[in-house]
Amino acid sequence: MQNAQIAAIFDRVADLLEFQGANPFRLRAYRNAARTIGDLSEPVAAILADESRSLTDVAGIGDDLASKISTLIETGTLPLLDDLLAKIPASVLGMLRVPGLGPKKAAALYKQLQIESLDQLREACEAGRVRELKGFGKKTEETILEGIDLAAHAEERIYWAEADELVQSLLAHFAKLDCIRQIEPAGSYRRGRETVGDLDFLVDSDAPGRVMDCLAEYSETDRILARGETKMSIRLVGGLQVDLRVVPADLFGAALQYFTGSKDHNVVLRGMAKQKGLKINEWGVFRTAEGDDSYVAGAKEADVYAALELPCFPPELREARQEFQWAHEGNLPQLVEIADIRGDLHMHTTATDGKATLEEMVEAAIARRLQYIAITDHSKRVTMANGLDARRLRAQWKEIDALRDQYGGFTILKGIECDILESGGMDLPDDVLAEADWVVASVHYGQNQSESQITDRILGALENPSVSAIAHPTGRLINRRKPYAVDLEQVLAAAARFGKLMELNANPARLDLDDVACAAAKRHRVPIVISTDAHSTRGLDVMRYGILQARRAGLTKADVANTRDWQELRGLIGKRPAYPTQELAGPTM
DNA sequence: GCCGTTTTCGGCCCGACTGTTTTCAGTCG
């Protein structure tokens, strides 16, 4: 059983316990464990199998949860979950997705009106039965009725790239206000998460009323959900919620820190503050000693962290994963930046399914100040994209030869995105691949095969001496297609063994390897190559989304292969151990 | 359910806003 499955089961247990009204701290223990395990860069099964280690070494996992994890790995089931499901039908959990319905109200509906599904909830609201319950009223009933439609889409989070468009539009809208001194988007957008569930804006102004009016007047504002002295929430026409907080300058840093989160990061932070006799909230850092509640810091975000003797963490790291430990050890990584990127090693042209010609792609790459690119059109198996056979590929390489003469200082690599066939093996003959400067291998077909089949196919590709990297290594499309079943641990171990690179595909719908998998690659000392997989000249601009994902994984410039010049990068391929980091504990075999 | 250089028991982050209430519980972030 994989980490993600164990995490999902613990989350489900937490949902059911919450519904039951269980001890909130017990609940939190399950939620914490779910997140910790989901974020772990190595399989818990591996920790369990290693006699020198214990699951209880993982923060937040005690004896009880460790034994539950063992049970899950050994038997695939958890008796506690079965017991809970025997008492509470899983369908009631859908009610928790209705905005305004929490565990208490949902439980009241279930117990007093026997409501088990959203359909039954709708009927009860329409019949006016919900308003009869104690603690409910007419208004609540209306809110629930509206929320039921939203609940169906509640799981849907938009791509960071889409969120960015909305953020830029809103910033432009606010720009006409002269009473705004500072404005910052916060929340998961600022942390660079691959998807965003709502938008948070923090504003420094002495005129909160005017700022809130401005948001209310935004052309895409559908309705106002709440509006108080300092805080306002609205829903956009598309359904996305926008939260706005307006504070004066001396509180801006504290509020920005608070609103950027993550929630878990803030919980840890406040716990640390408490130990130091301090209290942190969105209004600042305060001393809590008796008879003294004086303000310590709050104007700048860095001041808030400094008050706790912590570095001002890059927002991408604020997930309560390893950042506090890194800070404690003085090892906070210097994260990779877009300016570090020198080349792009995955892109298509009109020869297959790209929209721009070879020459247009070269021009566009030069305009973006890249030093080298690899042209990697599809191989023939991808008939839908008019994939290249050996003859057409060699013809393209001739064209590249001509362009190399034309664009002297710029490096154009002869590459191919070669399919890994369903039956295993590569889509082009070895002698052809051997002539290429750069070969990315990818799985496009047979994605429904078993984990062992797909893993074997990829392992086979890694063994091929001409293959340089595995492209979009899980095949997922966020919100649209699940990753195919693949044992990434085996793949990463093999990549390290053969000195191969792994791609982080920067397309906002792909972004695989994801942040957790990138951290796993780093653990295996496998270099990551961040590539755009551009199908047009504008497609080259998605690089920054890949950078955000890499930063969330804690990757540095040294961890990302295409921050090097091409000669140096080429030296990494086929070498073992893959590349030197700080101290090598010997090659991993 | 986890955790401990104050603790093996008794803590566990903190505040804004709403609706249904007459002082607060529930929800949310």
Closest C1' nucleotide to A233's CA:
B17
Its CATH class, for the domain covering A3-156, is mainly alpha
Task: Give the residue nearest to nucleotide B18 (CA to C1').
Answer: A226
Query: Which tokens in the block code for residue A148?
Result: 């039921």
Distance between the alpha carbon (CA) of A60 and the C1' atom of B5, Å? 20
Closest C1' nucleotide to A267's CA:
B13
Closest C1' nucleotide to A101's CA:
B27
User: Which of A286, A96, A194, A117 has the alpha carbon at shortest distance from A505?
Assistant: A194
Distance between the alpha carbon (CA) of A137 and the C1' atom of B21, Å? 11
Distance between the alpha carbon (CA) of A271 and the C1' atom of B3, Å? 13
Q: Is A179 exposed, middle or buried (CB count within 10 Å of its CB: 0-12, 13-18, 19+)? A: middle
Distance between the alpha carbon (CA) of A37 and the C1' atom of B24, Å? 37
Q: What angle do CA A108, A109, A114 make, to 5 degrees?
A: 115
- What is A338-584's CATH topology? TIM Barrel (3.20.20)
- What is A159-247's CATH topology? Beta Polymerase; domain 2 (3.30.460)
Query: Which tokens in the block code for residue A357?
Result: 């010609």
Distance between the alpha carbon (CA) of A66 and the C1' atom of B11, Å? 22
Q: What span, in angstroms and rounded, lies between the C-alpha atoms of A464 and A433? A: 9
Given a contact cutoff of 8 angstroms between Cβ atoms, the answer to whether A285 and A254 are in contact is yes
Task: Give the residue nearest to nucleotide B6 (CA to C1').
Answer: A275
Closest C1' nucleotide to A231's CA:
B16
Measured in degrees and rounded to the nearest 5, phi and psi for residue A367 equal -60, -30
Closest C1' nucleotide to A277's CA:
B6
Distance between the alpha carbon (CA) of A189 and the C1' atom of B29, Å? 14
Give tens-digit pLDDT for A25-59.
888 899 889 988 988 888 899 898 888 889 998 88
Nucleotides of B under 7 A from a protein CB: 1-3, 6, 11-21, 25-29
Distance between the alpha carbon (CA) of A231 and the C1' atom of B16, Å? 7
Indicate the average pLDDT of chain A: 90
Give tens-digit pLDDT for A497-510.
999 999 999 999 99
Task: Give the residue nearest to nucleotide B25 (CA to C1').
Answer: A135
Q: Write down the CATH number for the domain with range A253-328.
A: 3.30.210.10
What pLDDT is recorded for position A211?
94
Distance between the alpha carbon (CA) of A269 and the C1' atom of B2, Å? 17
Given a contact cutoff of 8 angstroms between Cβ atoms, the answer to whether A249 and A299 are in contact is yes
Distances (CA, A) of A40 to A32, A526, A540: 12, 17, 31
Given a contact cutoff of 8 angstroms between Cβ atoms, the answer to whether A452 and A410 are in contact is no
Task: Give the residue nearest to nucleotide B20 (CA to C1').
Answer: A135
Given a contact cutoff of 8 angstroms between Cβ atoms, the answer to whether A166 and A239 are in contact is no
Closest C1' nucleotide to A80's CA:
B1
What residues of chain A score a pLDDT lower than 50?
577-589
Closest C1' nucleotide to A108's CA:
B26
Distances (CA, A) of A190 to A141, A270, A322: 35, 20, 18
What pLDDT is recorded for position A295?
85
Distance between the alpha carbon (CA) of A119 and the C1' atom of B1, Å? 35
What pLDDT is recorded for position A292?
63
Distance between the alpha carbon (CA) of A360 and the C1' atom of B9, Å? 70
Closest C1' nucleotide to A102's CA:
B27
SS3 A77: coil
Q: Where are the domains of chain A?
A: 3-156, 159-247, 253-328, 338-584
Distance between the alpha carbon (CA) of A230 and the C1' atom of B29, Å? 14
pTM, full prediction: 0.87
Give tens-digit pLDDT for A503-539.
999 999 999 999 999 999 999 999 999 999 999 999 9
Closest C1' nucleotide to A107's CA:
B26
What pLDDT is recorded for position A587?
35
Q: What angle do CA A10, A25, A44 make, to 5 degrees?
A: 35
Task: Give the residue nearest to nucleotide B1 (CA to C1').
Answer: A26
